[in-house]
Chain A
Amino acid sequence: MSATVNPPVAFTQDELGWVSWIEPLPEAELTERHFNGLVDRARAKSEYFRLLVRDPEVLEARTKTDKDIFYNVADGLPRAERELAAAATSRYNGCIYCASVHARFASTYSKRREDVQKLLDEGVDADLGERWNAVVKASVALASTPIAFGPENIAELRSAGLDDAEIVDVINGASFFNWANRLMLSLGEPSK
Chain B
Amino acid sequence: MAPTDIIDKLAGIEPGSALDGIRARRLQARENAQKSYLSLFEPIDTGDFSLLERAAVAAFVTGLHGESPVAAFYRDKLAATSGGAALLDAIDAEIARGKTSGPYGSFPAGPLSIENTAGLIFRVSAASKSGLGTRLVAALEHAHLLVFRPRDAASSDMNALLAAGWSNTGIVTFSQLVAFLSFQVRVVSGLRTLAAVNA
Please give the residue numbers on chain A whose beta carbons come within 8 Å of chain B beta carbons, in ascending order.
2, 7-11, 21-23, 51-52, 54-55, 57-62, 64-65, 67-69, 72, 74-76, 92-96, 123, 142-147, 149-151, 153-155, 164-165, 167-169, 171-172, 174-176, 178-183, 185-187, 189
Contact = CB atoms under 8 A, between A and B. Distances in A.
A190 to B, nearest CB: 9
B29 A69 contact: yes
Nearest to A190: B108
Contacts of A187: 158, 171-172, 175
26 contacts: A9-B107, A10-B111, A55-B39, A55-B173, A55-B176, A57-B39, A58-B40, A62-B180, A64-B28, A64-B32, A68-B32, A94-B103, A94-B107, A95-B151, A96-B108, A142-B186, A144-B103, A147-B185, A153-B193, A168-B191, A175-B184, A178-B183, A179-B183, A185-B153, A187-B158, A187-B171
A65 B36 contact: yes
A22 B168 contact: yes
B81 interface: no
Interface residues of B, number: 69
**Chain A contact residues, majority secondary structure:** helix
A11 B39 CA distance: 34
Contacts of B29: 64-65, 68-69, 72, 172
Contacts of B57: none
Interface of B: 18-19, 22-23, 25-29, 31-33, 35-36, 38-40, 43-44, 64-66, 101-103, 105, 107-112, 115, 142, 145-148, 150-151, 153, 155, 157-158, 162, 168-169, 171-173, 175-176, 178-180, 182-187, 189-191, 193-194, 196-198
A75 B27 CA distance: 13
A95 to B, nearest CB: 7
B64 to A, nearest CB: 7
A54 B172 CA distance: 7
A189 B182 CA distance: 20
A32 B102 CA distance: 40
Given A68-B28, A154-B197, A175-B183, A145 B147 contact: yes
A151 B151 contact: no
Contacts of A94: 103, 105, 107, 150-151
Given A179-B183, A181-B150, A57 B32 contact: no
Contacts of B111: 9-10
